[in-house]
């Protein structure tokens, strides 16, 4: 008598059978493609540590978005490289800020493409931290509550520019409630918030800080981002953001935190996203360039792992390449 397992193996023998019994399927509709917008015109500046990713001027970003929409990708998320930085993050909330200008131009050209706005201050602060800083000697402290007003202002200015989903990534306490109240008070009660709820203080953000020119000038982000060993604390952070009014949540980074994704999926019945961050992208690109791994295979395997763990929305620099493969 043949063991049933033999038939299970047969089920995996051809692509059509494998496809039939597949438990997890990727779709471009679940991808979000990050864009880094810089001043100027006609600019496509390669980012050294992220081969294939560029700083784009608004006009180039619009072209990119036409391509993204044609590939059936779910949406984009905008990061800004402002003309000037200061200690009040003026560029983050200015009505003619770089992200606000990009959003208006993209909405005009590709009205149906979903636009997320990353709400954070690090790209706009001269010191590169995600909130207001008070320094005394070598010591510095992040001012949580005073930062909330700036974050809320930023969110409202993004909504005004046509951004569809507000995605705060700063990790200040209480920012979801502050942003929700400000949006509601400005006529944007229908604009959802996707909270970077479980965002870990990670070494995997290295290349992003080159891409967004947002490395802290001193210190690090460990006082406001989460400690990598803590899963239960991550659940608590998510719970608090949901209580404050988050509509969707995110775990970030992705591949090193699949257990956090899985646990969040089990506990919370809201749309769950995961961010496959710059360092995850860079590792795969670098190893592939050396001929050490098969790029497409590892790209798809990592994306499927993130979805299998429970994320239905994946923010990824591979969005276009993966969408092309999924055809």
Catalytic center residues? 199, 252
Distances (CA, A) of 8 to 5, 16, 22, 24, 217: 5, 14, 12, 17, 56
Q: Is 132 in the site for ligand PBG (CB under 6 A)?
A: no
Contact in structure between 272 and 265 (CB atoms under 8 Å): yes
Site residues for ligand PBG, window 271-300 (CB under 6 A)? 277-278
Nearer to ligand PBG, 157 or 276 (CB): 276
Nearer to ligand PBG, 33 or 268 (CB): 33
Interface with ligand PBG: number of residues (CB under 6 A): 11
User: Minimum distance between the CB of residue 279 and ligand PBG, rounded to whole angstroms?
Assistant: 6
Q: Is 120 in the site for ligand PBG (CB under 6 A)?
A: yes
User: Minimum distance between the CB of residue 286 and ligand PBG, rounded to whole angstroms?
Assistant: 15
Q: Distance between CA atoms of 315 and 294, rounded to whole angstroms?
A: 21
Nearer to ligand PBG, 53 or 238 (CB): 53
Q: Of 102-110, 149-157, 205-213, 297-305, which segment contacts ligand PBG by CB under 6 A? A: 205-213
The residue whose Cβ lies closest to ligand PBG is: 208
Q: Is 205 in the site for ligand PBG (CB under 6 A)?
A: yes
- Of 57, 47, 71, residue with least CA distance to 106: 57
CB crowding 289-307: b at 16 or more within 10 Å, else e: eeeebebeebbbebbbbbb
CA quadruple 29, 179, 119, 223: dihedral sign: negative
Q: Is 237 in the site for ligand PBG (CB under 6 A)?
A: no
Q: Is 130 in the site for ligand PBG (CB under 6 A)?
A: yes
Q: Of 84-92, 115-123, 154-162, 184-192, which segment contacts ligand PBG by CB under 6 A? A: 115-123
Q: Is 188 in the site for ligand PBG (CB under 6 A)?
A: no
Q: Of 134-142, 180-188, 201-209, 291-299, which segment contacts ligand PBG by CB under 6 A? A: 201-209
- Of 110, 96, 218, 113, residue with least CA distance to 157: 96
Q: Is 93 in the site for ligand PBG (CB under 6 A)?
A: no
Q: Is 169 in the site for ligand PBG (CB under 6 A)?
A: yes
Nearer to ligand PBG, 105 or 172 (CB): 172
Q: Is 31 in the site for ligand PBG (CB under 6 A)?
A: no
Q: Is 208 in the site for ligand PBG (CB under 6 A)?
A: yes
Residues that bind ligand PBG (CB under 6 A): 118, 120, 122, 130, 169, 205, 208-209, 221, 277-278
């Amino acid at each position: 008598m043949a063991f049933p397992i033999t038939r299970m193996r047969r089920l995996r023998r051809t692509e059509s059978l494998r496809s039939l019994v597949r438990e997890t399927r990727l779709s471009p509709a679940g991808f979000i493609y990050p864009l880094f917008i810089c001043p100027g015109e006609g600019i496509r500046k390669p980012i050294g540590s992220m081969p294939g990713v560029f700083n784009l001027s608004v006009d180039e970003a619009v072209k990119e978005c036409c391509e993204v929409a044609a590939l059936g990708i779910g949406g984009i998320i905008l990061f800004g490289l402002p003309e000037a930085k200061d200690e009040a993050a003026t560029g983050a909330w200015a009505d003619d800020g770089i992200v606000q200008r990009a959003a208006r131009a993209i909405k005009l050209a590709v009205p149906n493409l979903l636009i997320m706005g990353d709400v954070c201050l690090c790209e706009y602060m001269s010191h590169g931290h995600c909130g207001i800083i008070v320094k005394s000697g070598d010591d510095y402290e992040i001012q949580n509550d005073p930062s909330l007003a700036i974050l809320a202002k930023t969110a409202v200015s993004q909504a005004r520019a046509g951004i569809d989903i507000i995605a705060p990534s700063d990790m200040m306490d209480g920012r979801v409630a502050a942003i929700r109240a400000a949006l509601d008070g400005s006529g944007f009660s229908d604009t959802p918030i996707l909270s970077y709820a479980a965002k870990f203080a990670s070494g995997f953000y290295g290349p992003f800080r080159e891409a967004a020119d947002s490395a802290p000038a001193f210190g690090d982000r460990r006082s406001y981002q989460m400690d990598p060993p803590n899963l239960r604390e991550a659940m608590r952070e998510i719970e608090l953001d949901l209580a404050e009014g988050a509509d969707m949540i995110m775990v970030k980074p992705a591949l090193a935190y699949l257990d956090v994704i899985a646990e969040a999926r089990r506990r919370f019945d809201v749309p769950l996203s995961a961010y496959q961050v710059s360092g995850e992208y860079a590792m795969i690109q670098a190893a592939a360039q050396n001929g050490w791994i098969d790029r497409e295979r590892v790209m798809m395997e990592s994306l499927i792992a993130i979805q299998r763990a429970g994320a239905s929305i994946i923010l990824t620099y591979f969005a276009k390449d993966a969408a092309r493969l999924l055809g």
